[in-house]
Structures are given as C-alpha cells and as structure tokens.
Amino acid sequence: MPRALGAIKDQAQDPLVRVVEIAMQGFAKASEPGAFLVDNFPVLRCTPEWLLPGGGFKAIARRMRRELDEMYDLPYAFVKKEMEAGRARPSFISSYLEEKRIPTPADEELIKAAAASLYSGGADTTPSSMTAFILAMTLWPQIQTRAQAELDVVLGPSSSWTRLPTFADRARLPYINAIVLEVLRWNPAVPLGLAHRVTQDDVYHGCFIPKGTVVWANIWSMLQDPGVFPDPEVFRPERYLDADGNLRELERYEDPSIIGFGFGRRICPGMFFAMNSIFIGIATMLCVFNITKAKDENGEEIVPEVDFQGFISHPAPFKCEIAPRSEETATLIRRAAGQV
C-alpha cells in the first residue's frame, strides 16, 4: 500500500485517495436537493425493498453506508499498522493515537470520524477554489500582473529569491488576500451549503416554515447579488480594497469568507484551514508561475468558457498554460519538490 503522507505517485491508484473519492461521490449524490423522493416523502421508507426496482434507494443507501465505513476504517487501519511497524509518518491520526495510548472503542470512533471529516471536507472543496483561481488568472491576466508585482515588492526582485511566500507575509499582501475572497465569491465551492432542518416553527418574511422543514441556504445567490457585488460574473478583487489598496472593513453581507462557509451550528469547521490553504496556494502559484491562455494549432489563444458545475462546484475542464516565471523560480519549485 502507498504511504499515507508524502508524494502520491498515482492518485487514481492510491487506495486511500480512491476510498475518499468514492465516498464523496455518494455524499454529493445524497446531498443533492430532490435527488431521492424519500427525502420529501419519508413515508416511502416503509416500502419493502423487493418492491423497489433493483432495491431502489435502500440498496443505494446500503452501498453508500459501506463506502462511508471504508472511508472511516481504511486510513485508520493503515496508520495503526504503520505505527506498529515503527514507520508511521506524523499525521492527525498518529498524534491522537500517541496521545491516547490505549484508545477506547469510543475514542477510536471519534478519531476515525474526525480524520475522515477532515480529509473528505477538504478533498474536493479547496481544489475547487484553486481551479477557479487558475481559470480567473487565465481570463484576467492584468490581475495576475498586479498580484505578482505585490509579491515582488514583499519578496524582493525575483533574481534574489531564496524562499517562497509564507503566512508571515500575509499582512503585507492585501491584493492576494482580496483574490482569495474573490475566488470564494466567484465560485462558491459549496453553492447551496448542506441541508439544515428547522428545529421549531418559524416565520420568515411572512412565510410560515413548520418545524422539521428541510431548508437550504442559497450561498451562490447571496454571493452573486448584483446589488452587493456589481457585475457579479466579473472576477474583481478590487471590490474588497479601499482607495489606498488596503483591505476594507467588510460588512457580513459582503464578506465571502463569512457567507461561503455556511451558517449556524453546522458552519464549516474547516473554514480557517481552507482560507489558509487557499491563500498559501495562490501566493505560491503566483510567485513561481505565469498562467496564460493556451494556443490552438493556428497559434490563436483559446479563451476558456466560465462554466461551474456540481454540488461541489468545479469549473468545467479548460485549457491554459502554466510555466515557471523565470529560471530562479524554476529552481525554487524543484527545491520545494525535493528535486535539487
């Protein structure tokens, strides 16, 4: 079995990657509003399985349960085995197991569930934001140029670079921070959030909502409201900056980092982790790469379409070119990848 941490040689073949991918496909399907009639008509639960073609939603639910259990069990069993063999790399699971020493069955369930949530919650969402960022840089090169100029001021001229950007640089990179916010707004990774159930009768704008109703927060529509974000389809980080180029104090309704991660008790627990990952990913990519439009066989630039799809929203596949900004940055990339 491949190592859990470190370089993943072939993602499609790595069982620890596959198991999450499969479970998340089921999760996305099950979470789609209206995907299963039984969600709206719970009485259908009582239908005997033999009456449903191919076992219907009951057979699907059983398969998804099995896939979910595997996502909990496989990575946990792998780390335990590696620890017993004395070759485990430090990880979320290994540090909890070391702390607990003799975990009770309840501890084990909690550690498994926390690790699986951590991995599955971030496996598709953060990449969705990073791909949207690459699409935006392909379409709006002037934004990339301004962001790279900001980085060059903070890190010094590219010929003298010895390091990549770090979190310590963040406060001096307002434009990059604004790009992070605009990525969260332009392509909200979870555009409808997750289903919530109303715990008591409520009235909203004169509309009675009985206890037990399933409601969805339309994050996408809040972040595309032209009254709050003029020309919402345009990627424009300047929305979040004042006249001096500093980040503005944002009201809650105009802050994608507040809206994009959901609401209430079930708000995304990975929001700070996600914001940090996206920031460092974007800053690093801008530092070392130029992202440009790909060319077709006639040498004409290919302008990608903006087409976001899915319960976890991803841009449809598009073409672009990503090349090191200079020889120095190429060396930095190779060094970070452990190749020099």
Question: How near is the Cβ of 114 to ligand HEM at its closest, in Å?
Answer: 9
Q: Which amino acid is at 118?
A: L
Question: How near is the Cβ of 172 to ligand HEM at its closest, in Å?
Answer: 23
Binders of ligand HEM in range 143-182 (CB under 6 A): none
Token digits of residue 43: 């009485």
Judging by beta carbons within 10 Å of its beta carbon (0-12, 13-18, 19+), is residue 339 exposed, middle or buried? exposed
- Is 268 within any annotated ligand binding site? yes
Q: Looking at beta carbons only, is 121 or 237 nearer to ligand HEM? A: 121
Among 29, 65, 163, 266, binds ligand HEM (CB under 6 A): 266
Q: Looking at beta carbons only, is 195 or 294 nearer to ligand HEM? A: 195
92 sits near ligand HEM (criterion: CB under 6 A): no
What backbone torsions phi and psi does residue 281 show, to the nearest 5 degrees?
Answer: -65, -45
Best CA proximity match to 323, nearest among 291, 277, 275, 296: 291
8 contacts 17 by C-beta, under 8 angstroms: yes
Task: Give CB contacts under 8 A, 24+ apart, made by 1-9.
Answer: 1/78, 3/89, 4/75, 4/78, 4/79, 4/82, 4/89, 4/91, 5/89, 5/90, 5/91, 6/89
Token digits of residue 224: 């595309």
Binders of ligand HEM in range 202-241 (CB under 6 A): 219
Stretch that binds ligand HEM, among 35-43, 63-71, 226-234, 264-272 (CB under 6 A): 264-272
Question: How near is the Cβ of 277 to ligand HEM at its closest, in Å?
Answer: 6
Among 31, 117, 326, 331, binds ligand HEM (CB under 6 A): 117
Among 174, 232, 260, 315, binds ligand HEM (CB under 6 A): 260
Among 97, 134, 178, 190, binds ligand HEM (CB under 6 A): 190
Distance CA 36, CA 38 (A): 5
Strand partners, 321: 292
272 sits near ligand HEM (criterion: CB under 6 A): no
Question: How near is the Cβ of 270 to ligand HEM at its closest, in Å?
Answer: 2
Strands 214-215 and 196-197: antiparallel
Q: Looking at beta carbons only, is 284 or 326 nearer to ligand HEM? A: 284
Token digits of residue 13: 């073949």
Question: How near is the Cβ of 123 to ligand HEM at its closest, in Å?
Answer: 8
Q: Looking at beta carbons only, is 19 or 219 nearer to ligand HEM? A: 219
Distance CA 187, CA 321 (A): 21
122 sits near ligand HEM (criterion: CB under 6 A): yes
Contacts of 171 (CB under 8 A, 6+ apart): none
Q: Which amino acid is at 115?
A: A
Distance CA 188, CA 194 (A): 13
If phi over 0 gives left and psi between -120 and 50 gives alpha, with beta otherwise, what is residue 230? Answer: beta
Q: Looking at beta carbons only, is 35 or 118 nearer to ligand HEM? A: 118
Best CA proximity match to 4, nearest among 12, 51, 14, 314: 14
256 sits near ligand HEM (criterion: CB under 6 A): no
Question: How near is the Cβ of 12 to ligand HEM at its closest, in Å?
Answer: 22
Question: How near is the Cβ of 127 to ligand HEM at its closest, in Å?
Answer: 9
Q: Looking at beta carbons only, is 185 or 325 nearer to ligand HEM? A: 185
Q: Looking at beta carbons only, is 126 or 290 nearer to ligand HEM? A: 126
Q: What is the DSSP letter of 189?
A: S
Q: Count the residues of the shown chain that bind ligand HEM, applying the rule CB under 6 A.
A: 24
Stretch that binds ligand HEM, among 7-15, 59-67, 173-181, 266-274 (CB under 6 A): 266-274
- Annotated binding-site residues for heme read 268
* Footprint of ligand HEM (CB under 6 A): 117-118, 121-122, 125-126, 129, 189-190, 193-194, 196, 219, 260-263, 266-270, 273-274
